[in-house]
């Protein structure tokens, strides 16, 4: 169709704009902030460290396989999506927090592989918060444990967290993201098979 005037062209563009804008809203950029709302032992109770007396655990840097490595949150309360993004190194941040939490519990996490020890590697699949009235966060990791040249445990672990709060507030995103990390650790530390394998007290288990 041929446009007969510049005015008509502008009106047509104006009519298309709402549809274009609805696909992509504003973005808030933020550094990653560690702000869990609870302590790990409150969920797991006292950890039995006796099986780890002569054990060493290496926790390798997490690898990131997410398609979008910057977006960590989405607000879907409006007709368009508002985003939360970060330029920080997400897998490095998660590796640091997981190692610090395990060390604080007394687990023998070391920097280099030791003979007879366990080597834990993780693949980051998801780390995000979706806000639709409530904040719903998820951290999803594929975790593998090796002992020597054998894979002795492999599984997918998903940590989740939910909270109410004022709309599109960075503090709420920080808290929910941090709580997903704590939930992953709680699930792992409460898994008897995983802990036995980590301590070297279990036979090789089936790898899915």
Cα R_g (the chain), whole angstroms: 22
Residue pair 29/87 in contact (Cβ under 8 Å)? The answer is yes
Q: What is the pLDDT of residue 3?
A: 43
Supply the CATH classification number for the domain 25-198: 3.30.160
Diameter of the chain measured on Cα atoms: 84
Secondary structure element (H or E) that encloses residue 189, with its range:
helix 170-189
Residue pair 62/145 in contact (Cβ under 8 Å)? The answer is no
**Which segments of the chain have a pLDDT < 70?**
1-23, 41, 43-44, 203-208
Q: What is the pLDDT of residue 205?
A: 53
Each domain of the chain, given as residue ranges in start order, spans: 25-198
Q: What is the pLDDT of residue 114?
A: 72
- pLDDT per position as a tens digit, 134-161: 999 999 999 999 998 899 999 999 999 9
Q: What is the pLDDT of residue 16?
A: 43
């Amino acid at each position: 169709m041929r446009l007969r005037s510049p005015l008509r062209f502008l009106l047509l563009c104006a009519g298309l704009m709402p549809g274009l804008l609805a696909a992509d809203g504003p973005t808030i950029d933020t550094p990653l902030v560690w702000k869990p709302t609870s302590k790990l032992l409150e969920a797991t109770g006292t950890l039995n460290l006796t099986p780890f007396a002569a054990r060493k655990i290496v926790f390798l840097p997490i690898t990131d396989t997410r398609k979008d490595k910057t977006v960590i949150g989405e607000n879907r309360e409006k007709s368009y999506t508002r985003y939360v993004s970060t330029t920080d190194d997400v897998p490095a941040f998660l590796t640091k927090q997981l190692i610090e939490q395990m060390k604080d519990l007394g687990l023998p996490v070391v920097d280099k592989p030791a003979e007879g020890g366990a080597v834990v590697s993780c693949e980051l699949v998801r780390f995000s918060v979706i806000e639709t009235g409530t904040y719903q966060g998820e951290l999803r990791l594929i975790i593998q444990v090796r002992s020597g040249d054998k894979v002795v445990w492999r599984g997918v672990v998903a940590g989740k967290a939910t909270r109410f709060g004022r709309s599109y507030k960075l503090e709420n995103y920080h808290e929910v993201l941090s709580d997903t990390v704590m939930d992953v650790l709680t699930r792992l530390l409460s898994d008897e098979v995983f802990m036995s394998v980590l301590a070297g007290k279990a036979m090789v288990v089936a790898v899915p």
